[in-house]
């Protein structure tokens, strides 16, 4: 017999490239207090925190030890979870387990990133540090400079995604125009989300297509920004959830299966055995388990909205298929038909998604948060125009080998 | 607790200075050995939770190249930061939630990669303490020790006696780092001063090491082993930041212990616990921990040391394995305490076995002046 | 000037540095075997007796089988492109690598395109990432057959493997 657990409040900050008006502690507490206010829960009722960000990006180790006081953490259990791009998803799932375990009744999950605190954007230096140990190792064996230039020219994070996009294009038949369409949709949707970063009302694929190519098939207009921002959710057990929220967003299923490193290299510069980084077996397995827990048999019919983690537009298509929302190799056709628009058959990222707002640590938690808003009917301008019974939130991270999949619903029933 | 959960297998490395093994090999070996110790296959794991930090490992997303080594290939996994006891806490929550049955928990640090004391400097308030630049964990511990010693008339000899007890215990533990069977109070008191009154032998050594542990739900635990070590109580708590807290007490440890005692039904810890394994990163912390755990009255920690109560052959043995003063592979240290406590219950502690252990306490901590603490109360089949 | 400024339009910014200069990573000796092979113009991969996979460059352990990949296999220096990226023409002042401008230093010619590729060498079960050289960028395609371009005088370094070129 599992305990029913729900999200009863959501809070986030406005996302921009530079939040110079606040420091990290102030920014994080802004999200926490917004969530507590939304949930109508006082700090005294909270008995656990789950927190996370990419610590290297802000340059502070274990930042919750310093900023815990600002969010009311002292005297409570505080677990810090960090799993790269999926950090927010892992933090949100951590809050579920915190309450589902019966050890705690009300938990706050908060995740954030403040890229602008680093002189060079964390997305460049911070992500290079992922492979820093490998780099020094290879350098000691005479790494070819020209090879290094090639890696740098494509960009460490983008590099993995570009290869992944090429694989997907090759096997599905989609083209660069579809990526323009995804990016334009993300910016249009973001214009309806007051917390989003890159807002562009009426943005068209042609607008995106006018931007310069970085490395084919990616253009500048395809790439997510580096944002400052934080997001938080209040998670509670059933009794309190029913008392506090008119429509709680219930956790119905969740999983986070990791795969082998998808490309680049393994520890100490070894090769990897995943031949197609767009295959994403971990995502497929996570979705399968999450749907099973949620009692969802046909996600194409039963999921009403999805928040897919898509810093690069190709990933909205790749992962939507792996989440079972479209048949293999067909997501781009649905995109063409407008099925993934806010008012489409299967709305993808009505919030604008990661492509419009990327505060790395927080981003995957925002996907869960946005799904909760859709279920609670609180998404305001970007609320999808239909009854949302089930929503799926996705996150990816690491060397595209980490995945979080979380299914939320309007009832706890399985 | 809504489900009974037990520890069914574990392994740890031979902690040492500058281990001649890569991070991947070290981690792989303990995970493989823990699975072997439990007598299960990787395929039987439902979830894997690891613990490490980016600053200590020197890699952004410290876990990213270790998924294969820890056995998390196509497994539902996650990574908790800081001490391994927090990873254990998370793994326990996953099993209690009813979504998983068997978990592997892994924690590691190679202290030789980057000076862990320097990392503590980066945990300070970046706008103030880091700018002033005088504090790190050792300096803060020295302030704490001085305040504590001053308040309760504790002498440097008391600290040295605590260090001698743990370091001599470590000599019997093949996995411990410090090998000084004949260390004396005089030797500790004449070792190098880092920040007065903290001396080299009153501090934990900088170790490379890893450990892994297998956790299982009641049904699975009974299938896997006839010697399960049950988790009877848990508690986790964070204190306020250095400047807003009274560092002469370990309030968050006290709160975590109370939560765990209540869950386990422990009313008189001194008489009901048979052994405790605690993470004392500095000798004075051991005395403070006695008090926070309720093994004695406030300010009386020195008496337990003076009387030899917490020696291996004493009435309430603490750290028969040598504790953190014996070896401190930072993120692994707390989880090693859990393993050592479980070994005592299963009677697997060899040369440092305490006779007839039924119930044991294990403690993990992280942060300057033990800002975060986790407590586990473990019991054998008979407890 | 005193420490207290008269006006503070925003929260203060405080300068600080994150010194990561003194890390000591532990590397495996596998790479040594690999570069010794390169010196003899041989590509050494690690072989897993559990699942039979061959990984190039060699990796230490197989997560599928959760075991050390303790055997080696030499794979062909010919293979197939499984994926590629074509960068826009490189220009001066656009990119800094290790503090230097690759076009300015002559490592890359002005206007040259760089083509990072994944190659599956015959006999291996992995993608090896490298660069494609001596090719017309328009002719690159998935499935293209390539071979290793060795340095003129291999010295037992990763740079002995300069890249791949069309067969
Ligand atoms: Zn294998």
How far does A28 lie from chain B, in Å, by closest CA?
15
Give phi and psi for A120, each to the nearest 5. Answer: -100, 140
Rounded Cα distance, A277 and A167, in Å: 7
Domain count, chain B: 1
CB contact under 8 A, C25 and B58: yes
Q: Is residue B89 part of a domain?
A: yes
Residues near C137 by Cβ (< 8 Å), separated by ≥ 6? Answer: C86, C113, C115
Distance C124 CA to ligand 1 centre (A): 13
Chain C partners within 8 Å of B42 (Cβ):
66
Give phi and psi for B30, each to the nearest 5. Answer: -70, -35
> Of A146-155, B98-107, B141-150, C28-37, where does mean pLDDT reach its minimum?
A146-155
Is the CB of B153 inside 8 Å of chain C's CB atoms?
Answer: no
Rounded Cα distance, B83 and B90, in Å: 12
Q: Is residue C67 part of a domain?
A: yes
CB contact under 8 A, B236 and A75: no
Count CB-CB contacts under 10 A for residue B337. Answer: 31
pLDDT category, C15, cuts 50, 70, 90? low
Query: A5-119+226-237 and A252-409: same fold?
Result: yes
CATH code for position B20: 3.40.47.10
Distance B45 CA to ligand 1 centre (A): 18
CB B219 within 8 A of CB B228: no
Sheet holding A390-397, edge to edge: A77-80, A48-52, A106-114, A228-237, A5-12, A249-255, A402-409, A390-397, A305-307
Is the CB of B86 inside 8 Å of chain A's CB atoms?
Answer: yes
Angle between helices B333-346 and B84-96 (to 10 degrees): 60
Is the CB of C85 inside 8 Å of chain A's CB atoms?
Answer: yes
Interface of C with A in 31-50 (CB under 8 A): 31-32, 34-35, 45-46
> Of B125-129, B239-243, B273-277, where does mean pLDDT reach its minimum?
B125-129
Domain that holds residue C68: 27-166
Chain A partners within 8 Å of B60 (Cβ):
54, 56-57, 84, 126-130, 132
Q: How many residues are present in chain A?
A: 414
Instruction: Reduce the secondary structure of chain B to three states and give it as a string.
Output: CCCCEEEEEEEECCCECCCCCCHHHHHHHHHHHHHHHHCCCHHHCCEEEEECCHHHHCCCCCCCCCCCCCCCECEEEEEECCCHHHHHHHHHHHHHCCCCCEEEEEEEEECCCCCHHHHHHCCCCCCCHHHHCCCCHHHHHHHHHHHHHHHHCCCHHHHHHHHHHHHHHHHCCCCCCCCCCCCCHHHHHCCCEEECCEEHHHECCCCEEEEEEEEEEHHHHHHHCCCCEEEEEEEEEECCCHHHCCCCCCHHHHHHHHHHHHHHCCCCHHHHCCEEECCCCEHHHHHHHHHHCCCCCCCCHHHHHHHCCCCCCCCCCECCCCHHHHCCCHHHHHHHHHHHHHHHHHCCCHHHCCCCCCEEEEEEEECCCCCEEEEEEEECCCC
Given this model, what pLDDT does residue C98 score? 75
- Beta pairing, strands B47-51 & B102-110: parallel
Is the CB of C163 inside 8 Å of chain A's CB atoms?
Answer: yes
Distance A216 CA to ligand 1 centre (A): 34
Domain ranges (residues) in chain A: 5-119+226-237, 121-222, 252-409
CB A381 within 8 A of CB A193: yes
Could you please report the per-residue DSSP string of A313-372? Answer: HHHHHHHHHHTTSS-TT-HHHHHHTTTTSTTSSS-B-TT-HHHH---HHHHHHHHHHHHH
Largest CA distance in chain C: 72
CATH of A252-409, picked from 3.30.300.30, 3.40.47.10, 3.40.50.300, 3.40.50.720, is 3.40.47.10
CB contact under 8 A, B28 and C62: no
Distance C55 CA to ligand 1 centre (A): 10
Rounded Cα distance, A285 and B74, in Å: 8
ipTM score for this prediction: 0.97
Look at residue C13 and tell me whether its pLDDT is greater than 90. no
How far does B220 lie from chain C, in Å, by closest CA?
22
Coil vs helix vs strand at A160: helix
Over residues B73-91, the mean pLDDT reads: 97
Q: Which residue's entry shows tokens 């690598």?
A: C97
Look at residue A79 and tell me whether its pLDDT is greater than 90. yes
Chain C partners within 8 Å of B32 (Cβ):
66
How far does A81 lie from chain C, in Å, by closest CA?
22
Structure tokens that stand for A296 in this block: 């969802």
Smallest Cβ–Cβ distance between A270 and the set C59, C87, C159 belongs to: C59
Q: Which residue's entry shows tokens 């996994």?
A: B77
- Which chain B residue has its CA at the smallest distance from C27's CA? B22
Cα dist. B353→B161, B173, B318 in Å?
21, 10, 12
**Checking phi first, is residue A285 left (phi over 0); if not, alpha (psi -120 to 50) or beta?**
alpha
Given this model, what pLDDT does residue A264 score? 66
Domain that holds residue B83: 5-114+206-224
Count CB-CB contacts under 10 A for residue B317. Answer: 24
Look at residue A163 and tell me whether its pLDDT is greater than 50. yes
CB contact under 8 A, C85 and A216: yes
Over residues B357-364, the mean pLDDT reads: 98
Distance C82 CA to ligand 1 centre (A): 22
- Which chain C residue has its CA at the smallest distance from B41's CA? C66
Smallest Cβ–Cβ distance between A258 and the set B60, B75, B94 belongs to: B75
Look at residue C17 and tell me whether its pLDDT is greater than 60. no
Largest CA distance in chain A: 64
pLDDT per position as a tens digit, A342-390: 999 999 999 999 999 999 999 999 999 999 999 999 999 999 999 999 9
Distance A252 CA to ligand 1 centre (A): 35
Side-chain half-sphere CA neighbours of A73 within 13 A: 31
Distance B64 CA to ligand 1 centre (A): 19
Chain C partners within 8 Å of A56 (Cβ):
18
Structure tokens that stand for C147 in this block: 């071979």
Look at residue A414 and tell me whether its pLDDT is greater than 80. no
Count CB-CB contacts under 10 A for residue A365. Answer: 36
Closest CA to B213 of B20, B43, B51, B363: B51
Is the CB of C3 inside 8 Å of chain B's CB atoms?
Answer: no
CB contact under 8 A, B126 and A60: yes
Q: Is residue C120 part of a domain?
A: yes
Which class for A301: exposed (0-12), middle (13-18), buried (19 or more C-beta within 10 A)? exposed
Q: Which residues pair with A306 in a beta bridge?
A: A348, A392
Distance B306 CA to ligand 1 centre (A): 56
Which class for C96: exposed (0-12), middle (13-18), buried (19 or more C-beta within 10 A)? exposed
Instruction: Enter the CATH code of domain A5-119+226-237.
Output: 3.40.47.10
Smallest Cβ–Cβ distance between C63 and the set B19, B23, B67 belongs to: B67
Q: Which residue's entry shows tokens 């933090």?
A: A91
Angle at A31 between CA A30 and CA A36, to 5 degrees: 100
Rounded Cα distance, B98 and B88, in Å: 16
Chain B partners within 8 Å of C63 (Cβ):
67-69, 71-73
Look at residue A153 and tell me whether its pLDDT is greater than 80. no
Q: Which residue's entry shows tokens 């997303």?
A: B61
Closest CA to B244 of B133, B142, B129: B129
Chain A partners within 8 Å of C23 (Cβ):
132-133, 136
Chain C partners within 8 Å of A30 (Cβ):
none
pLDDT per position as a tens digit, B274-308: 999 999 999 999 999 999 999 999 999 999 999 99
Over residues B362-373, the mean pLDDT reads: 97
Count CB-CB contacts under 10 A for residue B138. Answer: 16
How far does B165 lie from chain A, in Å, by closest CA?
31
> Of A100-104, A120-124, B340-344, B367-371, where does mean pLDDT reach its minimum?
A120-124
Task: State the DSSP H helix or E strand holding residue A375, giving kind and residue range, or none if neither.
Answer: helix A360-376
Distance B212 CA to ligand 1 centre (A): 22
Count CB-CB contacts under 10 A for residue A202. Answer: 9
Smallest Cβ–Cβ distance between A263 and the set C59, C129, C155 belongs to: C129
Chain A partners within 8 Å of C86 (Cβ):
215-216
Angle at A183 between CA A182 and CA A187, to 5 degrees: 115
pLDDT per position as a tens digit, B322-352: 999 999 999 999 999 999 999 999 999 999 9
Cα dist. B317→B287, B288, B354 in Å?
13, 16, 8
Look at residue C1 and tell me whether its pLDDT is greater than 50. no
How far does C59 lie from chain B, in Å, by closest CA?
11
Mutate to test the interface with C, among A146, A164, A259, A314 (most CBs of C within 10 A): A146
Structure tokens that stand for A412 in this block: 């706890």
Distance B243 CA to ligand 1 centre (A): 52
Q: Is residue B70 part of a domain?
A: yes
What whole-number percentage of chain C has pLDDT above 70? Answer: 87
DSSP state of C143: T
Domain count, chain C: 1
Look at residue C22 and tell me whether its pLDDT is greater than 90. no
Task: State the DSSP H helix or E strand holding residue A108, giving kind and residue range, or none if neither.
Answer: strand A106-114
Q: Is residue C15 part of a domain?
A: no
Rounded Cα distance, B261 and B277, in Å: 15
- Any alpha helices (H) in A14-79, and if so which ranges? 24-39, 55-58, 64-67
What whole-number percentage of chain B has pLDDT above 70? Answer: 99
Chain B partners within 8 Å of A403 (Cβ):
none
Structure tokens that stand for A279 in this block: 């295959």
Coil vs helix vs strand at C9: coil
Is the CB of C14 inside 8 Å of chain B's CB atoms?
Answer: yes
């Amino acid at each position: 017999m599992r305990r029913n657990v729900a999200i009863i409040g959501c809070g986030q900050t406005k996302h921009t490239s530079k939040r110079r008006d606040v420091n990290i502690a102030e920014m994080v507490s802004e999200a926490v207090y917004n969530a507590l206010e939304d949930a109508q829960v006082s700090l005294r009722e909270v008995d656990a925190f789950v927190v996370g960000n990419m610590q290297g990006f802000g340059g502070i180790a274990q930042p919750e030890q310093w900023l815990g006081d600002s969010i009311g953490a002292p005297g409570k259990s505080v677990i810090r979870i960090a799993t790269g791009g999926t950090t927010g998803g892992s933090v949100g799932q951590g809050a579920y387990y915190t309450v589902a375990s019966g050890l705690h009744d009300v938990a706050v999950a908060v995740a954030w990133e403040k890229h602008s605190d680093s002189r060079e954007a964390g997305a460049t230096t911070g992500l290079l540090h992922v492979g820093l140990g490998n780099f020094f190792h290879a350098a000691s064996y005479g790494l070819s400079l020209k090879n290094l230039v090639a890696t740098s020219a494509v960009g460490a994070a983008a590099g993995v995604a570009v290869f992944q996009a090429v694989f997907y294009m090759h096997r599905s038949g989609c083209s660069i125009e579809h990526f323009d369409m995804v990016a334009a949709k993300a910016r249009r949707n973001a214009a309806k989300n007051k917390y989003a970063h890159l807002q562009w009302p009426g943005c068209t694929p042609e607008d995106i297509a006018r931007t310069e190519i970085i490395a084919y098939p990616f253009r500048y207009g395809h790439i997510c920004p580096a944002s400052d921002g934080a997001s938080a959710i209040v998670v509670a057990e059933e009794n309190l959830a029913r008392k506090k929220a008119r429509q709680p967003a219930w956790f119905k299923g969740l999983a986070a299966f990791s795969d082998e490193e998808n490309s680049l290299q393994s520890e100490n510069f070894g090769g990897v055995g995943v031949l197609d980084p767009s295959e994403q077996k971990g995502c497929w397995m996570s979705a399968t388990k999450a749907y099973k827990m949620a009692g969802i048999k046909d996600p194409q019919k039963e999921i009403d909205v999805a928040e897919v983690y898509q810093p690069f537009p190709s990933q909205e298509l790749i992962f939507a298929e792996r989440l079972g929302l479209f048949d293999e190799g067909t997501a781009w056709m649905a995109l063409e038909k407008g099925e993934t628009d806010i008012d489409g058959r299967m709305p993808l990222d009505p919030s604008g998604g990661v492509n419009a707002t990327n505060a790395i640590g927080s981003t995957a938690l925002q996907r869960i948060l946005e799904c909760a808003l859709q279920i609670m009917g609180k998404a305001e301008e970007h609320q999808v125009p239909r009854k949302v019974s089930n929503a799926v939130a996705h996150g990816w991270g690491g060397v595209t080998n980490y995945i979080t999949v979380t299914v939320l619903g309007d009832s706890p029933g399985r | 607790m809504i489900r009974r959960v037990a520890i069914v297998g574990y392994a740890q490395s031979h902690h040492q200075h500058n281990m001649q093994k890569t991070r991947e090999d070290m981690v792989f070996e303990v995970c493989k050995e823990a699975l072997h110790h439990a007598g299960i296959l990787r395929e039987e794991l439902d979830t894997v939770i690891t613990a490490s930090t980016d600053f200590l490992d020197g890699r952004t997303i410290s876990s990213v190249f270790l998924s294969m080594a820890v056995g998390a290939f196509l497994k539902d996994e996650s990574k908790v930061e800081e001490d391994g006891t927090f990873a254990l806490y998370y793994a326990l929550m996953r099993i209690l939630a009813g979504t998983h049955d068997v978990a592997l928990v892994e924690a590691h640090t190679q202290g030789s990669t980057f000076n862990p004391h320097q990392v503590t400097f980066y945990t300070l308030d970046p706008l103030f303490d880091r700018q002033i630049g005088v504090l790190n964990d050792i300096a803060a511990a020295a302030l704490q020790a001085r305040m504590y010693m001053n308040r309760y008339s504790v002498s440097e000899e008391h600290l040295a006696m605590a260090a001698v007890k743990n370091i001599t215990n470590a000599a019997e533990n093949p996995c411990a780092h410090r090998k000084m069977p004949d260390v004396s109070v005089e030797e500790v008191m004449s070792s190098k001063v880092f920040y007065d009154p903290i001396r080299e032998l009153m501090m934990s050594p900088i170790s490379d090491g890893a450990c892994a542990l297998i956790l299982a739900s009641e049904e699975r635990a009974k299938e896997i082993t006839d010697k399960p070590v049950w988790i009877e109580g848990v508690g986790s708590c964070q204190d306020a930041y250095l400047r807003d807290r009274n560092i002469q007490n370990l309030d968050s440890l006290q709160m975590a212990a109370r939560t765990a005692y209540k869950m386990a039904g422990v009313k008189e810890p001194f008489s009901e616990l048979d052994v405790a394994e605690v993470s004392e990163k500095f000798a004075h912390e051991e005395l403070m921990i006695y008090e926070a755990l309720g093994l004695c009255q406030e300010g009386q920690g020195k008496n337990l040391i003076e009387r030899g109560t917490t020696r291996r052959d004493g009435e309430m043995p603490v750290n028969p394995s040598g504790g953190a003063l014996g070896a401190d592979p930072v993120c692994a240290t707390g989880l090693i305490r859990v393993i050592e406590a479980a070994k005592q219950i299963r009677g697997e502690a060899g040369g440092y076995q305490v006779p007839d252990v039924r119930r044991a306490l294990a403690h993990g901590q992280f942060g300057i002046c033990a800002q975060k603490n986790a407590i586990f109360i473990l019991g054998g089949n008979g407890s | 000037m005193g420490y207290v400024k008269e006006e503070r339009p925003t929260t203060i910014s405080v300068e600080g540095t994150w010194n990561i200069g003194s890390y000591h990573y532990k590397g495996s000796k596998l790479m040594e075997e690999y570069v010794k092979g390169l010196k003899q113009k041989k590509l050494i991969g690690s072989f897993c007796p559990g699942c039979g996979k061959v990984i190039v460059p060699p990796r230490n352990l197989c997560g599928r089988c959760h075991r050390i990949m303790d055997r080696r296999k030499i794979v062909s220096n010919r293979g197939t492109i499984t994926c590629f990226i074509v960068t826009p023409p490189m220009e001066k002042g656009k990119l800094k690598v290790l503090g230097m401008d690759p076009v300015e230093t002559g490592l890359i010619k002005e206007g040259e395109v760089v083509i990072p590729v994944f190659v599956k060498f015959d006999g291996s079960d992995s993608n090896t990432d490298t660069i494609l050289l001596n090719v017309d960028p328009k002719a690159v395609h998935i499935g293209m057959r390539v071979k290793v371009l060795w340095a003129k005088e291999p010295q037992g370094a990763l740079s002995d493997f300069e890249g791949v070129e069309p067969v």
